[in-house]
Structure 1
Amino acid sequence: MTRPAIAAVTLAALVLAACNNPREVPITGGGGPPAARFTMTLERGATLVLAPGEVAEPFLRITRDPGFDGPVTFSVEPPPGVLVVFRPETILGADFAEMRVVVAQSAERTSHQIRLVGRATDGAETATILALTVRDPSAVR
């Protein structure tokens, strides 16, 4: 076999090996949002225990990386019967947002892990978890 033929066979073998074991093939570039340039932490209320009809107002603190002062917009997908509102919904240069958590009568009496997401305008995002337990209103606190 000639050297070009050996090189072609070797390349083909490497490609086939990579196709048969994709976990060993590194993926580089593109493929997702940029790394977040801020972190989020809950203050005064990372874990809430509320009965239907009760309200809590925890704070969401933003810690920005040096040089990042862009807007951060918050989003959440609460369980049915739970309302989570950010005030304000988008912050610019600030380091915190207040939240209002309202539990309706229809909320399921159980523990919920609610994912709170902060997203920069370039798509970079980070998240934190709000632990909410909806208790029976007759239960002693």
Structure 2
Amino acid sequence: PPFKGDLQQLSWVISNLVTNALRFTNPEGSVNITASFDGKNLIISVRDTGTGIDQKELEKIFDKFVQLEDSGSPTPGSVGLGLSIAKEIVELYGGRIWAESQVGVGSTFTFTIPINERIVTDNIEAI
């Protein structure tokens, strides 16, 4: 079934997750994107073989202004809003987003969006 939301916003969420994965993965590593449909939800995952995220940091990774302290990759100009905005967009579409990670192994960021429900777009500007 077709996605009845703003494809530009969906693309922004995916782009943000991929950009973060590339930022924290060395050149010899890999970043994989998968997309599937379970009959009700669009499921998109971005998996990397990067530095990984400590479990304590993982709990707050979607909060505003959070940047990983020991990421080993300072991001000039970043204020730590990308993942919180991604979460707001996904939740406005009735979906959810989460991360799984292991330090030294990598991370997987996954989000789901129901595509058979009415999509809310009026409040997107509030982000």
TM above 0.5, one fold? no
Greater helix content? 2
Greater strand content? 1
Larger Rg: 1
| TM-score in terms of structure 1 length | 0.27
| TM-score in terms of structure 2 length | 0.29
